[in-house]
Structure 1
């Protein structure tokens, strides 16, 4: 039996790695990438555990024990302090960013998680009679497990899609716009996107000699004096880029239109719509890839760095957007949980 496990367990890890590599090759921004990466971690853990147990090496046993303890300590601290960490992050975002509802997400979630045990005790133990309190409790447990699981897989998928390294042979680079400062100035966040595009542009020219077209995509918001695309193009030109290699798309008002109108520019210049890339912030690449594909461009994106303090808030916002894109499927899952909770406690 041990011999069977010695072949089967490593084979499981090899299969998971192979499926992950194939999935990433086919689609850089796929939910399956995060799931398969998680399965690969489980398979790797199983391999380490199995071979540590059957080994006679005391050093290997000690290393495995220390790693296990460290992982348990880290997970315990995260579980115990997650509400405090979210509140702390929310306060930082509140101080450094504008005071919009979207920027309050981590603060709101942190406060809710902090008071949830009290609310649960009051409502499920004191106010709501049996068996209804048990139904609600069972439904809450299933829903929480579902949300946490898909959020973990989503976060891994977002992280994985940023490992994409495009070949220096592209016809175009689409830079997705963001809000302007004082109505006409490129913000630091937007500048990071443009600089990332310029870095790729210059690297491609130095490697292959091919000049890609930089498409600065962004319309004019209600509080902006000029379109984002125009401000972005001016910024690019100030960096000494050939004016013939830069064009402004100044009609779009959201990411979907960014790609739809940029596709028209690509067609107008008679470029291959599947031989390009787009640039946005690293947290936005996953969702934006789907919009690019829907616009008729089978392209992937490269991400610019996002300030660490803003990343948790941004990831949660992206996650909510993904949930809303698949709201029917998620609604059916929630309804299934309701049925299970009611049937189980009747």
Structure 2
């Protein structure tokens, strides 16, 4: 019963925080913990005898196999990304994570062959850190999916489309999907009697012949969007600059800065968190992305989230890494004093 109480409390905290502001990663932590505690209670509430023990043993036995399968899939996706998108650091993230998941098994094999206590301690330390990062990643992914499934809040004054790079002067498929989603939102608003602006946001890269904003505006014009409904923000090079320059641009026009940000589905939560940090009255809606592209893209987003909160995560990892070592030292001191 205690598991149910804890789960309901965590879900209640999530509900309160979500109602106050849905654009927080910590919402995902409370939601995931609440679901885990409540789910464990539900699984065990109608079960008697040795079945819970059998299920727990089965889970422990299968976990290493599942991790190995996941590592293999991530490495395979990394190879596919390199073949399709080229050899770049960003495209190696899924492969790198797959290799990292194999490290505890390498350490375990070394510990078994050498019978060395300190290798076992190192294995425990690495496992603690990986478990922490893994939990935060699951919370991030779980809440990203939850946030992305939320219905669009109608009635925004501006629809901001974030750039993602051009192919010369051509709009590539990733950016086209964002623009198509913006057109859907725009037409729904017009059908409801409203007339929002569409802001195309993106500067000119060194390998691009025109700004992203201009290319995006051309794409919209070809699909029947009136020119007086489109505003170009053609200075930005990052998502943060997209948001800041757009707020400035709308303020200069005397328009309200209440906006919906249109980006790819893998990018929605980080964009929402960033918008919240800048104090913007903005929500985010996502466009579909090619499936093969998602693992690396999601990992890039997660890495950016970790970096944005680097000190909290670094302190947590250091503490967790040190715990097994401190436990060994403490046990030796106790046995020595006894």
Residues in 1 aligned to 2:321 and 2:46: alpha-carbon distance in whole angstroms: 43
Report SS of the residue matched to 1:310.
Answer: helix
* Counterpart contact for 2:250–2:256, Cα < 8 Å: yes
Q: How far 1:25 moved relative to its partner? A: 2.6
Q: How far 1:281 moved relative to its partner? A: 0.6
Partner of 2:180: 195
1:36-57 deviation line (CA, Å, top 9, x unaligned): 3223322442453354238xxx
Aligned: 1:104 with 2:92: yes
Aligned: 1:333 with 2:322: no
- Residue 295 and residue 40 in structure 1: after superposition, are their counterparts in 2 closer, same or farther (change >3 A)? closer
Aligned: 1:31 with 2:25: yes
Aligned: 1:20 with 2:5: no
Question: TM-score, normalized by length of structure 1?
Answer: 0.84
Q: How far 1:307 moved relative to its partner? A: 1.4
Partner of 2:333: none
- Equivalences for 1:191-340 in 2 at 5 Å? 191-207=176-192, 209-273=193-257, 275-340=258-323
Report SS of the residue matched to 2:261.
Answer: strand
- Residue 333 and residue 40 in structure 1: after superposition, are their counterparts in 2 closer, same or farther (change >3 A)? closer
Report SS of the residue matched to 2:145.
Answer: helix
Greater displacement, 211-220 / 41-50: 41-50
**Residue 343 of structure 1, aligned match among 326, 332, 336:** 326
Q: How far 1:148 moved relative to its partner? A: 1.0
**Residue 76 of structure 2, aligned match among 74, 80, 88:** 88
* Counterpart contact for 2:23–2:269, Cα < 8 Å: yes
1:147-188 deviation line (CA, Å, top 9, x unaligned): 11111111112112212323321100111101101x110010
Corresponding residue pairs, total: 326
Aligned: 1:175 with 2:161: yes
Q: How far 1:72 moved relative to its partner? A: 8.9
Q: How far 1:244 moved relative to its partner? A: 0.8
Unaligned residue ranges in structure 1 (runs of 5+): 55-61
Unaligned residue ranges in structure 2 (runs of 5+): 330-338
Q: How far 1:102 moved relative to its partner? A: 0.6
Question: TM-score, normalized by length of structure 2?
Answer: 0.85
- Residue 15 and residue 136 in structure 1: after superposition, are their counterparts in 2 closer, same or farther (change >3 A)? closer
* Counterpart contact for 2:104–2:126, Cα < 8 Å: no
Report SS of the residue matched to 1:29.
Answer: coil
- Residue 131 and residue 23 in structure 1: after superposition, are their counterparts in 2 closer, same or farther (change >3 A)? same
- Residue 228 and residue 331 in structure 1: after superposition, are their counterparts in 2 closer, same or farther (change >3 A)? same
Residues in 2 aligned to 1:314 and 1:77: alpha-carbon distance in whole angstroms: 25
- Residue 31 and residue 230 in structure 1: after superposition, are their counterparts in 2 closer, same or farther (change >3 A)? same
Greater displacement, 159-168 / 261-270: 159-168
Partner of 2:128: 142
Partner of 1:58: none
Residues in 2 aligned to 1:134 and 1:69: alpha-carbon distance in whole angstroms: 22
* Counterpart contact for 1:28–1:300, Cα < 8 Å: no
